[in-house]
Amino acid sequence: MFENSIWPVRRPIRLPAYDYSRPATYFITFNTRYFEEIFGTIENNKMQLNDFGKIIEKYWIALPNHFPYLRLDTYIIMPNHLHGIIEIIPRDETAVRAGFPRPLDSLRIEATGRGTRPLRRTLGQIIAYFKYQSTKRINEIRQSPGKLIWHRSFHDRIIRNDIELHRIRVYIRENPRNWSLKSTPEASHAIP
C-alpha cells in the first residue's frame, strides 16, 4: 500500500488466518521502545527490578484476574524486555476456575448457533491491555502522560509440545545469565 513511501513497508508478524483467541500455549516477547533499559539491572546474573520493573511484574501477574481463560507460566522481566509463556485455556476449564472476580469480558456475550458464551479476547488484545495499563501507571509516576514505553507489537511463537515448552522455560530462566553475552539489544527477542 505504501511501497513508494519513504517509510518502510512492515510485514505482518502474526500467522495469517490463525485464531489467536483459541486455546494454545504461546511464548511471547516484547521490548521497550528504542530498547531503553528502564526496568532494572542485571547484577550477578540475576535481574534486579527497579520500581518500574515491579510495576510491570504487578500488571503481568494480574492478567488472569482480567482474563480468566489465561494461565501464566514462566516469565522474566529484563532491563528492556519481557519474555513470558501464556496459555489460553479451553472454555470448559475456564468455567471451573474459582476465585476470580467477574471480568468485563464475561459481561460481553458472543452469539453462537447454540446460544451465547463469554467473548474471548485475542492474544494481541491481551498484550495491548497489559501494555496500556503498565504504561499508564509508569507515566503517572514519572508525570509523563502519553510517553510510549513499549515497542510496537510483540513476537510470539506457538509452543507445540512439551519438549519445546521445557526448552523455552530454560531459556527464560537463563536469560539474565545470558544478558552479557548479547551483542545487540535486538538479540533480546531471539526465540530459542
**Looking at residue 150, what DSSP letter applies?**
B
- Which tops the pLDDT comparison, 176 or 100? 176
Q: Give 162-186 pLDDT, tens digit per residue.
A: 999 999 999 999 999 998 776 445 4
pLDDT surpassing 80 at residue 36? yes
Q: Where are the alpha helices (DSSP H) in the chain?
A: 51-61, 63-66, 91-96, 104-107, 123-142, 162-178
Confidence of residue 39 (pLDDT cuts 50, 70, 90): very high
Residue 33, amino acid: R
Q: Give 118-170 pLDDT, tens digit per residue.
A: 567 889 999 999 999 999 999 999 999 999 999 988 999 999 999 999 999 99
pLDDT value at residue 90? 84
Find, among 145, 170, 143, the residue nearest to 159 by Cα: 170
Distance CA(163)–CA(120), nearest Å, equals 28
pLDDT surpassing 60 at residue 38? yes
**Looking at residue 72, what DSSP letter applies?**
E
pLDDT value at residue 21? 84
Find, among 116, 191, 138, 155, the residue nearest to 30 by Cα: 155
Residues 80/189, Cβ–Cβ less than 8 Å: no
Confidence of residue 107 (pLDDT cuts 50, 70, 90): very low
What domains lie within the chain, and their CATH numbers? 24-184 (3.30.70.1290)
